[in-house]
Structure 1
């Protein structure tokens, strides 16, 4: 699904966000940490926001892959099970969950991202 270079850029982004937060993320920091180039960056992403979205989706897909909805249980039971799953997995895969929660928080705070979710 991801080329090696794209995956390195995404993983570097996750690492930088975990170390310094979303606001201090720059293209130059990402390409330096990923040991890549600006050309490679722009081949895979149009801008830093595009990269952050991809890092979020990568984290999301790696975080929730083990959870499954049980049709035999009520919505409340599934929601409760999901909450327990999130707590348990956030300890195991802390960086992926931190990225996921940071992104969700950013989407509620940033008008541009909020509009994308309302569409």
Structure 2
């Protein structure tokens, strides 16, 4: 019971920090504000974290990775089917990203991610995490594109690397723009995906 209570407290602290990260940015949020949002005393903070930076790394691992490993596992299962429709796999992946994963609201995730981009300019650990994320997504989406080419469902006249970078840029660009333009239809990119990647006869 004590362990469960401790884990619940830790989750509340992470949730509070994630919200403040999105709303104010890392530098502007204080431990006092984090604990107030969590409904816990400041002393509880040091039971679970050494300092604010230690908490930030927990936020990265628990709120910003979008359940990436699970997404990869489920997607690769679909791709292993000889009858799979790679266009539908790509569209499903993009929808999954935009509706939010891991129980994280998309708008909240986007705001927090933007703050991480800003922070990466001066924080080496954050910059390395972001580069690792980009490389992981490039590798993952390259597998999707290559599988589509293998099945004759994706055009081969554009380099895989170029197509993947276009898709990732579309995902990121629409998300960031949605922060200031809530009327934008993030699903417009599904049509662009067809135009960029799929054979004309599909």
TM-score, normalised to structure 2, is 0.44
Q: Give the paired residue count.
A: 115
Query: Contact conserved, 2:20 with 2:34, CA < 8 A, in 1?
Result: yes
2:32 match: secondary structure? helix
Tell me which of 112, 117, 131 is aligned to 1:105.
Answer: 117
Tell me which of 36, 47, 50 is aligned to 1:46.
Answer: 50
Pick closer, same or farther for the CA change 1:36–1:81 going to 2, 3 Å: same
CA–CA separation in structure 2 for the residues paired with 1:106 and 1:27:
20
Query: Contact conserved, 1:16 with 1:30, CA < 8 A, in 2?
Result: yes
* Structure 2 gaps, min length 5: 80-85, 132-202
TM-score, normalised to structure 1, is 0.68
Pick closer, same or farther for the CA change 1:53–1:69 going to 2, 3 Å: same
* Structure 1 gaps, min length 5: none
After superposition, the C-alpha distances for 1:16-60 in whole angstroms (9 at most, x for unaligned) are: 223322231111111122122222101101111111111121113
Q: Could you say which residue in structure 2 is the equivalent of 1:96?
A: 109
Q: Does 1:22 align with 2:26?
A: yes
Q: After alignment, is 77-86 or 101-110 more displaced? A: 77-86
RMSD: 3.5
Structure with larger Rg: 2
